[in-house]
Chain A
């Protein structure tokens, strides 16, 4: 490990080219991953990925460099190289006194991944595999993936911040394929968090596997989704892809400052129905997007983005906050030492409302019930978004009707948020890996049961065309 004096010397070397801010992010990431398919433990991978990224900022210009080489001499060299890449006047030596900020929350890892024998991890994967296969004889294939990551980071900058932190994340994913004649369908479930092996105290891996398998089997009998406009009820357990896409990305300060977001310049304005409060919260214990410190060393925090429909706040990293002369919101994140931090979500959710979730369905004569969302995407420039329905049903006379497959919901973020007319008192969390500018970071999202009176469902129009 590098001593505090080494970090100081590296940052000072980085500032020699005239930069106004320098930062070093050192990372040691150890992973274990297990892959099971065809009833076989196909993959068991261990890895060590270590490296350091050095960033120098001068005005609006950023220079970034990274290397796997963590010795002092090599880092000093990288620092000098990166420092030269920003144009500026040569500065005097800057005194740097390091201080560690206090985290707003502590995450206690009960059972560290390296304390669990690999045999036990393999056994858990096999149990999940067997459980999924036992659901139905039409289950043709089951893929189970387990992974644990422990990421140790040291973050130091020329403003005197010094943070050492460790993030431990554990995840289990199950994907089942059901086949019947020529028909083939899939079901997917995942569980994970900023947790160690204790993840499986809350999530029964076998139950998770059975859920995935049952969904695959059920989709075999599902009819193609109808096409056109209809009311959509999204159950709490559907996940939070919609809020992540329809609104979250557009509230990231980099997109806002570049005028690339439909929410730019709308702080204080009504941007959603009064029923809608949107929160980004890194401090929820154990969720996939939870953080003690972000990747710039800023304590993770809870930020109310939209309150009763009024836009209150954007999500900031150091650079975007600095541009506005304000403090960051702890949303500066990066995939690894190879990437510079940018504003990203942590755990984003629509806060629960007052309606009984069952009554929301009952009060909807016709439409689509989304029980589980798949992936999604947004064009932040115009707010148009799309997401996939992994499990959906027709709503007939306020009751759950037949299952449908292949549906995609398309809408415009700001418009949808304004017309949501029912918000339930429940809340369901989901996890995912969010991609932006080529960087993937773990996130959580959640929502209560909600109703959107009208959304475009992409399905198949002619019944005879459905295969």
Chain B
């Protein structure tokens, strides 16, 4: 497929819808996302599910007398587009006027990013199927106790984004990403434990079937024979994956949207110490190989590198065009769209905690007794407004600096701010899971409920 041509096709359409809407005397912005997807699921060396898809949609935002109206459609027929314009304009009549509602003006240009690995399209379906089968073989070969494959999959997506607004923004880009994962179960003496391995990124060549398979198997096997522990306070070490889970709770609180609405635990804290000095948090919209990298955000503002927390000090919040206008600052290029179905909110791009100076081994070595947390449950119930979080956890018990027996069925609770402030070691092993990344983190003392 010729993606250059597609970009032009969708950009023309976005401009046409935008112009047509603007003729009704409103400011308008049309956003189009079109994609093609492939997903392969293998179990027991057979392709269980193969999904191929085409998907497209247009979201239209209009501003009239400082009021925003929005409508979307997945049908690009003349009638559907016309209805979409009429609805967006009608909807703006009933929303509340806000002088800060505005669209960004035209930017002179955007950075060229390498977001499209042609290997994702040139690799054959057979080759991709073989890759998934290899992941499963590697997982099974890792240990004879790996007896069940829950899923073993590959997926990729190739997409075009086009954006036009009535202030002259007209821009488009295309990209692709791919990834593979496995969930396997280890069985011994009637006990079952699951483990997963995964990689998602921009490069097909970065998918290492052996590594994914062994990781999933290793994680399942190491949990066999897990026991409970008594309620106590002890050191807690979070694996990078678990640390990214906590980061996901922090992300909304760093948006100016949450701050302006009084819903952020970081409100009024710019310039203050909000985390241990060894913690720096970054949002990088340009990160090479970052799955969330793009030349511009969901409103056409260039992406950028922002460090909201630098050595533990809160420096700034993340902004889109609206929140920036309200605070009298510049947008940080964080106008994010979950899809064409919503107005741009404030969201993160490639969002991560910077790597520290200690290897994960060294972090564990110093602990007389503690828990190395490898799984948490219920993280989505953590409260990003109050910061209160209480999750079910399992992992490996640490005794005299060494990982000993697996532990499950415990709960760990605390406040996210307290947690950030009490981190006393940061690992060198920054690892990304999708758009969020973190290294191994250690908290000197936390309540573990057993």
| Residues of A bordering B, CB below 8 Å | 37-51, 60-70, 81-82, 85-87, 118-119, 122, 140-141, 177, 179, 183-186, 224-225, 227-229, 258-260, 262, 338, 340, 374-379, 381-382, 384-388, 405-408, 410-412, 456-462, 465, 467
Indicate whether A374 sits within 8 Å of B377 (C-beta atoms), given known contacts A48-B74, A384-B408, A410-B409. Answer: no
For the complex, is B449 an interface residue (Cβ under 8 Å from A)? yes
Residue among B73, B83, B98, B388 with max Cβ neighbours from chain A (10 Å): B388
Which parts of B35-87 form the interface with A (CB within 8 Å)?
43, 46-57, 68-75, 80, 83-84, 87
Closest Cβ of chain B: how far from A338's Cβ, in Å?
Answer: 7
Which residues of chain B have C-beta atoms less than 8 A from A459's C-beta?
390, 411, 413, 447, 449
In Å, the complex CA distance between A410 and B413 comes to 12
Indicate whether A47 sits within 8 Å of B341 (C-beta atoms), given known contacts A64-B49, A186-B386. Answer: yes
- 8 tightest A-B CB contacts, nearest first: A458-B411, A386-B392, A388-B381, A408-B390, A40-B96, A386-B378, A227-B449, A461-B447
For the complex, is B94 an interface residue (Cβ under 8 Å from A)? yes
Question: Are the C-beta atoms of A44 and B51 separated by less than 8 Å?
Answer: no
Closest Cβ of chain A: how far from B291's Cβ, in Å?
Answer: 16
Specify the chain B residue showing the minimal Cβ separation from A68. Answer: B74
Closest Cβ of chain A: how far from B403's Cβ, in Å?
Answer: 20
In Å, the complex CA distance between A249 and B91 comes to 40
Question: Are the C-beta atoms of B377 and A461 separated by less than 8 Å?
Answer: no
Which residues of chain B have C-beta atoms less than 8 A from A388's C-beta?
378, 381, 390
Q: Which of A67, A68, A385, A406 contacts B57 (CB 8 A)?
A: A68
For the complex, is B237 an interface residue (Cβ under 8 Å from A)? no
Indicate whether A41 sits within 8 Å of B95 (C-beta atoms), given known contacts A227-B449, A388-B381, A461-B447. Answer: yes
Indicate whether A456 sits within 8 Å of B70 (C-beta atoms), given known contacts A47-B341, A82-B52, A184-B386. Answer: no
Interchain residue pairs with CB less than 8 A apart (8)? A45-B91, A46-B70, A62-B48, A65-B52, A228-B450, A388-B378, A405-B386, A405-B388
Q: Identify which of B191-199, B203-211, B309-317, B346-354 touches chain A.
A: B191-199
Specify the chain B residue showing the minimal Cβ separation from A62. Answer: B49
Specify the chain B residue showing the minimal Cβ separation from A183. Answer: B386
In Å, the complex CA distance between A258 and B411 comes to 28
Which residues of chain A have C-beta atoms less than 8 A from B342's C-beta?
45
Specify the chain A residue showing the minimal Cβ separation from B92. Answer: A44
Question: Are the C-beta atoms of A408 and B391 separated by less than 8 Å?
Answer: yes
Question: Are the C-beta atoms of B148 and A258 separated by less than 8 Å?
Answer: yes
For the complex, is B16 an interface residue (Cβ under 8 Å from A)? no
With A45-B70, A412-B409, A459-B390 known, 18 other A-B pairs at CB within 8 A are A40-B95, A43-B68, A44-B69, A44-B70, A46-B88, A48-B75, A62-B48, A67-B54, A118-B94, A227-B231, A377-B377, A378-B377, A386-B377, A406-B413, A458-B392, A459-B449, A465-B233, A465-B447
In Å, the complex CA distance between A460 and B414 comes to 7
For the complex, is B418 an interface residue (Cβ under 8 Å from A)? yes
Question: Are the C-beta atoms of B408 and A141 separated by less than 8 Å?
Answer: no
Closest Cβ of chain A: how far from B189's Cβ, in Å?
Answer: 13
Closest Cβ of chain B: how far from A376's Cβ, in Å?
Answer: 6
Question: What number of B residues sit within 8 Å (CB to CB) of A?
Answer: 78
In Å, the complex CA distance between A60 and B91 comes to 48
Indicate whether A410 sits within 8 Å of B392 (C-beta atoms), given known contacts A44-B91, A177-B263. Answer: yes
For the complex, is B265 an interface residue (Cβ under 8 Å from A)? yes
Q: Which of B49, B91, B392 contacts A63 (CB 8 A)?
A: B49
| Residues of B bordering A, CB below 8 Å | 43, 46-57, 68-75, 80, 83-84, 87-88, 90-92, 94-96, 98, 147-148, 150, 185, 191-194, 231-233, 260-263, 265, 341-343, 375, 377-378, 380-381, 383, 385-386, 388-392, 394, 408-415, 418, 447, 449-450
Q: Which of A43, A183, A457 contacts B449 (CB 8 A)?
A: A457
In Å, the complex CA distance between A47 and B92 comes to 14
Which residues of chain A have C-beta atoms less than 8 A from B95's C-beta?
40-44
Question: Are the C-beta atoms of A461 and B449 separated by less than 8 Å?
Answer: yes
Which residues of chain A have C-beta atoms less than 8 A from B55's C-beta?
51, 66-68, 338
Indicate whether A375 sits within 8 Å of B413 (C-beta atoms), given known contacts A47-B341, A65-B51, A459-B390. Answer: no
In Å, the complex CA distance between A87 and B50 comes to 11
In Å, the complex CA distance between A26 and B147 comes to 38
Which residues of chain B have C-beta atoms less than 8 A from A186's C-beta?
383, 385-386
Closest Cβ of chain B: how far from A187's Cβ, in Å?
Answer: 11
In Å, the complex CA distance between A68 and B58 comes to 12
Residue among A39, A68, A86 with max Cβ neighbours from chain B (10 Å): A68
Question: Are the C-beta atoms of B392 and A384 separated by less than 8 Å?
Answer: yes
Specify the chain A residue showing the minimal Cβ separation from B343. Answer: A43
Question: Are the C-beta atoms of B51 and A122 separated by less than 8 Å?
Answer: no
Which residues of chain B have C-beta atoms less than 8 A from A37's C-beta?
261
Question: Are the C-beta atoms of B378 and A408 separated by less than 8 Å?
Answer: yes
Question: Are the C-beta atoms of A410 and B70 separated by less than 8 Å?
Answer: no
Specify the chain B residue showing the minimal Cβ separation from A44. Answer: B91
In Å, the complex CA distance between A43 and B310 comes to 34
In Å, the complex CA distance between A119 and B408 comes to 52
Closest Cβ of chain B: how far from A179's Cβ, in Å?
Answer: 7
Question: Are the C-beta atoms of B381 and A41 separated by less than 8 Å?
Answer: no
Question: Are the C-beta atoms of A141 and B380 separated by less than 8 Å?
Answer: no
Closest Cβ of chain B: how far from A394's Cβ, in Å?
Answer: 16
In Å, the complex CA distance between A68 and B377 comes to 36
Specify the chain B residue showing the minimal Cβ separation from A31. Answer: B341
Question: Are the C-beta atoms of B91 and A407 separated by less than 8 Å?
Answer: no
Q: Which of B71, B263, B411 contacts A457 (CB 8 A)?
A: B411
Q: Which of A85, A140, A258, A410 contacts B410 (CB 8 A)?
A: A410
Question: Are the C-beta atoms of B53 and A376 separated by less than 8 Å?
Answer: no
Q: Which of A38, A81, A86, A410 contacts B52 (CB 8 A)?
A: A81
Q: Which of A49, A68, A376, A458 contacts B413 (CB 8 A)?
A: A458
Specify the chain B residue showing the minimal Cβ separation from A40. Answer: B96
Residue among A67, A179, A184, A185 with max Cβ neighbours from chain B (10 Å): A184
Closest Cβ of chain B: how far from A263's Cβ, in Å?
Answer: 12
Which residues of chain A have C-beta atoms less than 8 A from B388's C-beta?
405-406
Closest Cβ of chain B: how far from A163's Cβ, in Å?
Answer: 22
Closest Cβ of chain A: how far from B66's Cβ, in Å?
Answer: 11
Indicate whether A384 sits within 8 Å of B409 (C-beta atoms), given known contacts A44-B70, A45-B71, A376-B381. Answer: yes
Specify the chain B residue showing the minimal Cβ separation from A36. Answer: B96
Specify the chain A residue showing the minimal Cβ separation from B381. Answer: A388
Closest Cβ of chain A: how far from B301's Cβ, in Å?
Answer: 20
Which residues of chain B have C-beta atoms less than 8 A from A465's C-beta?
233, 414, 447
Indicate whether A50 sits within 8 Å of B75 (C-beta atoms), given known contacts A376-B378, A458-B413, A459-B413. Answer: yes
Residue among A46, A50, A259 with max Cβ neighbours from chain B (10 Å): A46
Question: Are the C-beta atoms of B411 and A42 separated by less than 8 Å?
Answer: no
Which residues of chain A have C-beta atoms less than 8 A from B377's C-beta?
377-379, 384-386, 410
Indicate whether A48 sits within 8 Å of B378 (C-beta atoms), given known contacts A63-B49, A459-B413. Answer: no
Which residues of chain A have C-beta atoms less than 8 A from B49's C-beta?
61-64, 340
Which residues of chain A have C-beta atoms less than 8 A from B46's C-beta?
60-61
In Å, the complex CA distance between A38 and B95 comes to 12
Which residues of chain A have C-beta atoms less than 8 A from B261's C-beta?
37-38, 141
Which residues of chain A have C-beta atoms less than 8 A from B191's C-beta?
382
Which residues of chain A have C-beta atoms less than 8 A from B343's C-beta?
43, 45
Specify the chain B residue showing the minimal Cβ separation from A86. Answer: B50
Which residues of chain A have C-beta atoms less than 8 A from B68's C-beta?
42-43
Indicate whether A374 sits within 8 Å of B381 (C-beta atoms), given known contacts A41-B94, A47-B71, A410-B409. Answer: yes
Closest Cβ of chain A: how far from B73's Cβ, in Å?
Answer: 5
Specify the chain A residue showing the minimal Cβ separation from B342. Answer: A45
In Å, the complex CA distance between A70 and B54 comes to 12
Which residues of chain A have C-beta atoms less than 8 A from B75's C-beta?
48, 50, 68, 70
Indicate whether A260 sits within 8 Å of B447 (C-beta atoms), given known contacts A48-B75, A68-B56, A381-B194. Answer: no
In Å, the complex CA distance between A179 and B447 comes to 26
Which residues of chain A have C-beta atoms less than 8 A from B390's C-beta?
225, 388, 406-408, 458-459
In Å, the complex CA distance between A269 and B193 comes to 23
In Å, the complex CA distance between A408 and B409 comes to 12
Specify the chain A residue showing the minimal Cβ separation from B88. Answer: A46
In Å, the complex CA distance between A399 and B385 comes to 31
Indicate whether A386 sits within 8 Å of B48 (C-beta atoms), given known contacts A41-B96, A46-B71. Answer: no
